[in-house]
Amino acid sequence: MSGYKNDSPLPLAGLKVIELGQLIAGPFAAKLLGEFGAEIIKIEPPHGGDPLRQWRKMVDGTSLWWHVQSRNKKSVTLDLKSPAGQDILRKIVLDADILIENFRPGTLEKWGLGWAELSAKNPKLIMVRISGYGQTGPYRDLPGFGAIGEAMGGLRYLTGYPDLPPVRCGISIGDSVTALYAVIGILLALQHRQRNAGNGQCIDVALYESVFALMESLVPEYDACGFVRGPSGSTLPGITPSNSYRCADGKYVLIAGNGDSIFKRLMNLIGRNDLGDDPRLAHNDGRTAHADLIDAAIGEWTAQYDLRTVLQALSAAEVPAGYPYTAADIVADPHYAAREMIRTITLPSGRSLKVPAVVPKLSATPGQINGGGPVLGEHTDEVLEACGVNSEARSQLRARGII
């Protein structure tokens, strides 16, 4: 991309990360670190590996999601339930910087691989523990998935329309948000380690807490006003106008006209200067009190024109607007192309595959993608050899199903 250099070492180069997690939250966090240069050693069960390998649409027997979630990683097969596998992990962790796990709390302790044991062997280790409810508290032992975290964190109750069952976002947003908080914790811990004689620390990240942290003024509104925010469909509660509106061709336009000056321009565009000049509607609090009136006026205007005409008019009036993109829209969009947000990789079969690019964009040390996800156990020999496990020992471990 113009203006972005690739000749500097990546910012996380030299860091060794052990990924013990499966599916989404832990692996997503490790993926972000790998895109910026960290060595990611993904530990997988010898038989089947990470279940994500078989999730959703598959090509050549492997999930297409896998090639996004597990890029830039090394796959090592290891049976962590066996004492021999546990001993090998201890060897791998000896010079690791970061370990990411998303087992149910207590699982690693049961295997003798908990924070106390591993940090005693490697004091610089930063251990990230992702779980549904956290490592403490009355719910710690309950199984927790992203969907449950979204519910307990308050998001699911707000998602959908009043008097209808709550709906979910079409992606695993709870897991992904938790992964982002995990990465923030890792970066903070690395800074702390640099300033404090190289000592690591343990990071406790709960799915429900990560979702709850996004819930804006939900709790203060209840505490101060007794107000329980509920589902509001396509509107943004308390921000007016910010909604979706049906056009003449049956498509929907999203309009964010909630700034005071933007609102006046929008009302002028749709021929409703009476609303634009109404002193009751000069500021957001007044507009929110009359949201139905404003939304009806905008909806009457959009219903007269097709989506393209509506978008062109809104753009000319400098009113923020858009429409819900499909995957086809994203791939065809010129702005995505100009920003190089869709990259093409080559799979082991030789097939090319479009995948999302790396975010965020760093000017001096942008992240990178080195192909898709690894074949199961592709790097087992390489990693174990580096830990002093010779070929004869590896053959015996394979015969026993440990690797």
Q: Residues with catalytic annotation?
A: 175
H or E stretch covering 340: none
Cβ–Cβ < 8 Å for 39, 75: no
377: three-class secondary structure by DSSP: coil
Cβ–Cβ < 8 Å for 401, 47: yes
Residue 225 token pair: 């006003």
H or E stretch covering 132: none
Residue 140 burial (10 A CB sphere; 0-12, 13-18, 19+): middle
CA terminus-to-terminus distance, the chain: 41
Cβ–Cβ < 8 Å for 51, 26: no
- Pairing state of beta strands 16-19 and 98-101? parallel
Strands (E), 23-83: 39-44, 58-59, 62-63, 73-77
Q: Per-residue b/e over 233-270, b at no fewer than 16 CB within 10 Å? A: eebebbebbbbbbebeeeebbebbbbeeebbbebbebb
H or E stretch covering 127: strand 126-131
∠ CA 355-359-364, nearest 5°, is: 120
H or E stretch covering 128: strand 126-131
